[in-house]
Every structure is written in C-alpha cells, then in structure tokens.
C-alpha cells in the first residue's frame, strides 16, 4: 500500500518571475497544481512546512491529499521540485492531480536488506538499479520494493523478476540486473623485469672512464 500524507497550500493570483521572487523572499514557495485536462492552479506554500514534508516522505511516489485554500482535498503526486544547484533553496513545486480509477506510471525505490555472504567474504556489492518503473492504481502504489540479499555470494546477481513486486505491473524487463556481488580486483604486482634489474645492479661493477694522453695511453682522471 502506498504512503500517504496531507498538505495545505493557498492559491495565488500573481504569476511571473517577479512574483515568484517576492513569494520566495517572504519564506514561501510558488507552485502549480495541474491534471488531465484540468486548468492549472497557481499556488504557494510555507517553505518550512514543505521542507518538513519532503523530509519524511518519498517525494517521488507518495500520494498526498492536497488542500487548496478551503476546497476539498485532492490526491496529488509531486511531479517536480526545482532546486538551486548547490544552495538549500527550492524555486518551484509542481503537483500532479490523480484521477480516481486511472493507472499511473511511477518509479518506486528498491531497498536492499541484509549483509551478503559475498561481501563478508571480500566481495563488493554493485547496485545497477536503485528504482523500478511501474504502473498501478494510485492507492496501490508501494512505497518501496524490499529485497533480502544476505544469501548472495560472489558472482551472484539479483534480477528484477526475482523481486516480490506484488500485483503492480513492472514496466522493465524481468531479466535486467538490479545488483550483483563482484570479486575485488587484486592489488597491482610490480613487474618481474624491475625486480631482475634490481638484482643485477648489485652484480655489475661500475665502468671506470679514464682520460687518454696524446700517445694513446691512459692516465688517471
């Protein structure tokens, strides 16, 4: 069963970049609510409350009962959060209204549990896919897929078809790899040639270069 949350926003009449800057300067975040064929509603929300919300849910796949002003709550998903590239600033939020009885397509995270035998034996866990794309009814959307990998040994792989996904439809192919346990690469070994040269250096006597006189005999340098 999907996670659910509730949240309150208020409608706004001002739109545009200037209005958005003023909204953010007041501690709020501008956003929009849209759906299939429905007119988009411009909204704004308390910045601290929204950050608290996304701090305790999976923002990509949690169904939210969203109340706009005093209207009846409507089920929505967070479709996009526009953030500053490196500062903790949220520029804008898009909510997508869900239609009852209509299937949706979402990405659900895969949660790997357990300490694999192969890792305990010196192997490395490589994760290929962190989430699976599925299609389901909104109220049937799982918060995560859980897979126990504690029995995996070096050389083993976990595929999508081996994960219990319940009654939802997984869009991706069952034979695709989710994770694997691989052997660690051996530390590089110095070349034998270098060792041989080192051994020979102790046996070779240095060549003494002497100056030659005019008569061709050598003189001590």
Give the pair of three-digit tokens for residue 196: 């041989």
DSSP string, 158-221: EEGGGS--TTSEE-S-TTSEEEEEEPPPPPPPPPHHHHHHHHHHTTSPPPPP-EE-TTS-EE--
What is the Cα–Cα distance from 134 to 9, expressed in whole angstroms?
Answer: 29
Q: What is the mean pLDDT of residues 48-71?
A: 91
Nearest to 166 by CA among 139, 193, 184: 139
Q: Which of helix, strand or coil describes residue 119? A: helix
pLDDT number for residue 139: 83
pLDDT number for residue 187: 66
Task: Kindly state the percentage of the chain with pLDDT values over 90.
Answer: 62
pLDDT in tens, 144-175: 999 999 999 999 999 999 999 998 999 999 99
Q: Which of helix, strand or coil describes residue 90? A: strand
Q: What is the mean pLDDT of residues 104-108?
A: 90
Neighbours of 208 (CB within 10 A): 8
User: Which pLDDT band, with edges at 50, 70 and 90, does 220 fall under?
Assistant: very low
Give the pair of three-digit tokens for residue 101: 């009885």
List helix spans (H) across the chain.
17-25, 47-56, 117-120, 192-201
Output 216 or 166, whichever has higher pLDDT: 166
Q: For the chain, what's the residue count?
A: 221
What is the Cα–Cα distance from 178 to 74, expressed in whole angstroms?
Answer: 35
Class in CATH terms, 4-97: mainly beta
- Within the chain, all domains assigned CATH 2.170.120.20 are found at 104-182
Residue 214 has pLDDT above 90, yes or no: no
CB 180 within 8 A of CB 128: yes
Residue 142 has pLDDT above 70, yes or no: yes
Give the pair of three-digit tokens for residue 50: 């929204």
- Within the chain, all domains assigned CATH 2.40.240.10 are found at 4-97
Buried b (16+ CB within 10 A) or exposed e, 66-87: bebeeeeebbbbbeebeeeeee
104-182: which CATH architecture? Beta Complex (2.170)
Output 84 or 198, whichever has higher pLDDT: 84
Output 176 or 39, whichever has higher pLDDT: 176
pTM of the model: 0.68
User: Which pLDDT band, with edges at 50, 70 and 90, does 111 fall under?
Assistant: very high
């Amino acid at each position: 069963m999907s996670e659910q949350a509730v949240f309150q926003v208020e409608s706004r009449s001002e739109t545009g970049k200037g209005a958005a800057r003023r909204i953010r300067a007041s501690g709020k975040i501008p956003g929009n609510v849209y759906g299939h064929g429905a007119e988009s509603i411009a909204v704004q929300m308390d910045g601290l409350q929204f950050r608290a919300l996304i701090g305790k849910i999976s923002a990509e796949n949690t169904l939210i009962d969203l109340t706009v002003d005093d209207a009846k709550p409507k089920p929505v998903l967070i479709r996009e959060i526009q953030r500053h590239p490196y500062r903790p600033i949220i520029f804008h939020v898009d909510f997508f209204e869900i239609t009852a009885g209509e299937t949706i397509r979402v990405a659900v995270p895969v949660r790997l549990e357990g300490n694999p035998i192969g890792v305990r034996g010196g192997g490395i866990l490589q994760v290929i896919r962190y989430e699976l794309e599925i299609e389901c009814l909104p109220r049937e959307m799982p918060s995560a897929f859980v897979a126990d990998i504690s029995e995996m040994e070096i050389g083993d792989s976990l595929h999508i078809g081996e994960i219990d996904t319940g009654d939802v439809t997984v869009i991706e192919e069952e034979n695709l790899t989710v994770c694997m346990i691989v052997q660690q690469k051996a530390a590089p070994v110095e070349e034998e040639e270098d060792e041989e040269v080192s051994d020979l250096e102790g046996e070779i006597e240095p060549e003494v270069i002497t100056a030659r006189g005019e008569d061709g005999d050598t003189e001590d340098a």
